[in-house]
Amino acid sequence: MLKTSVITPIYKGDQLRHHLEVHSILSKHQYGFRPNSSTTAALHDLVSDLQSARDGGMEALTIFVDIRKAFDSVDHEILLRKLHGYGFVGVTLDWMSDYLKERKQRVQYGELRSDEIVCKASVPQGSR
C-alpha cells in the first residue's frame, strides 16, 4: 500500500487576525477565537449591559443562537467572496482559495474505506 502525504503551508492565524483587527472587521462583541477573550468575558459584558439597562429603567431582550456544525456548513465560494469584501486580495486570497479548492475526504474504518468526495462546504479545523 502506498502512503501519501499532503504538505500544506501553515498560514499564520495571527496575520489573518491582525488584518481583521486593523481594519475593524470584527465586532468588539466577537469573543470566540480571539486572544484574551473568553466566554467569561462575554458573560461579564452581558451582565453589565443588562444591569445598565435595568439601572436606566429600560427593558432588555436577549437572544441566544447556537448554529449547529457551523464550520461544517461554510460554503467555500461565499467565504471567499466575503474575504475579498473584507480586503483580502492577491496572494492571501489566492492561498485561501487553493487551500479550500478540491478538498477531498473519505472515511476509513479498519480496512474498509469509503469513496472520496469533494468538499464544497466546510472549513478545515485543527489545533494550533
Domain ranges of the chain: 10-64, 67-123
Q: From CA 46, how far away is CA 41, in angstroms rounded? A: 9
Q: What is the pLDDT of residues 80-126, one digit of tens each?
A: 999 999 999 898 899 889 888 888 888 899 999 999 988 888 887 75
Predicted pLDDT of residue 19: 83
> Concatenated DSSP letters for 94-121?
HHHHHHHTT-EE--EETTEEPPPEE-SB
Q: What is the pLDDT of residues 10-69, one digit of tens each?
A: 555 677 778 888 888 888 888 887 888 888 999 999 999 999 999 999 999 999 888 888
Question: Is the pTM of the predicted complex or chain greater than 0.85?
Answer: no
CB atoms within 10 A of CB 100: 19
> Concatenated DSSP letters for 34-71?
-TT--HHHHHHHHHHHHHHHHHTT----------TTGG
